[in-house]
Amino acid sequence: MEHAAQGTCPSSVAIIGGGIVGLFTALELLERGYNVSLIEPDLPGGRQAASYGNGTWVSEGAIIPISLPGMWRAVPGFLLDPMGPFVLQWRYLPWLLPWLVRFLAAGRSWSRVERDIPARAALLTGAVARYEACAAEAGISQLMGARGVMYVYRSHADLEADRPAWDLRSKYGIEYEVREGESLRSLVPDLSAEYILGIRILPAVSLRDPGKFCAGLAKLFEDRGGRVFKALATGFDLSGGKLRAVQTSQGPIACDYAVIAAGIGSGKLARMVGDLVPLIAERGYHVEVLDCPIRLQTGLMPADGKMAVSSTLTGLRLAGQVELAKPTTPPDWRRARIQLKHARRMFPQIADIIDNGPHDVWMGNRPSTPDCLPVIGRSSGCPDVFHAFGHGHTGMVMAPGTASLVADLIAGSTPSVDPTPYSPRRFRFSR
């Protein structure tokens, strides 16, 4: 074990944010010998967090970003179709335009997309094993669910549209299997016969309840001596270029280092320590069909629906949608229910349950940067404050890798992952 400091007084670290990234970072630093405090205004694992309502997937194959070649042609549709899978509203366009231009530029060509794949892959490798180990330590292994995630297609033409992405997964060593016919039916017997083939990423697992998983990690953290403060971080006490404390709604919390892992709330805190990060809310929705009789053996992504489909403790979760809006904009619950029509196509035999059964709907704010890479590293304004936010659609799977990198940087050791691609200072220049 690499210890935090020599002598009898280990350094103290305050983690701002009790979502999945903050929790893994807190546990990693605790394991390395630091005194760690976690600052979170609500209960870890609660409905307020993006970590609660995601698609449940921990997929090491998530090397492909959201911005891809040709997406710029779809922008008029984003504005004109309020029920499409990717939506932005006219009234927000002036505010979103600088971010949107950078976002489209990041996916302007497959060579540009490939440029960032090594940086994405570096944070994905080993995530499933780390989840399994933490689940065992926390006594929550029962929350580890179906293995693998499978993209399913209704035609070979649909698959060909995704061929460049699968070619990149092959090139970068992502292990997957192709299933057709009886091989496909043996794994997903309840799936409609309209879907004729599937490609299943193997180094992946679904969580039966991401919120309960976060709560279990928080309990493990406290059981091991970590402290949780139910407070809202509001700023930093800086003196002589050094961090003295994190200011909170409940008063200052003294610390030697701080890590900003506050999801969509991170941008404001980052500005206080010298970094202007173009961070927006990519709002996602889920609808859960409660008490659903179908139990999936693998996570599913229908190519025509672009949503994660997973079995949870309470039912069948359908999670997806991208809505670019301010975090305070009221939810449009129609967007959650859009996903039910895709569920009916996938599982027509339970159409009545899908249409008329009880549902749980949820909306959360994915903290997203325009180049689809997180912000990880030392802040520009204070060497004692570090960033760990902006993971967009991949916060669940990148959390263990992010935690390890942040701990390396705080310890001053040679990081196992090159931190350069995640620097907050990359946004000062056009990419």
Q: Where are the domains of the chain?
A: 12-69+116-428
Sign of the torsion formed by the C-alpha atoms of 165, 100, 428 and 242: negative
Residue 115 to residue 249: CA distance in whole angstroms: 42
What residues form DSSP beta bridges with 14?
37, 258
Give the SS3 label for residue 47: coil
Beta strands in 166-232 (DSSP E): 176-180, 197-207, 227-229
Tokens of 57: 């997937």
pLDDT at position 4 is 43
Q: Residue 113 region, left (φ>0) first, then alpha (ψ -120 to 50), else beta?
A: alpha
Which tens digits make up the pLDDT trace of 375-421? 999 999 999 999 999 999 999 999 999 999 999 999 999 998 999 99
Give the mean model confidence (pLDDT) for residues 203-230: 98
Which tens digits make up the pLDDT trace of 243-282? 999 999 999 999 999 999 999 999 999 999 999 999 999 9
Burial (CB count within 10 angstroms: exposed 0-12, middle 13-18, buried 19+), residue 102? middle
Residue 266 to residue 281: CA distance in whole angstroms: 11
pTM, 2 dp: 0.95
On whether the 12-69+116-428 domain is CATH 3.30.390.50, my answer is no
Planar angle of CA 287, 290, 293, nearest 5 degrees = 120
Which tens digits make up the pLDDT trace of 370-379? 999 999 999 9
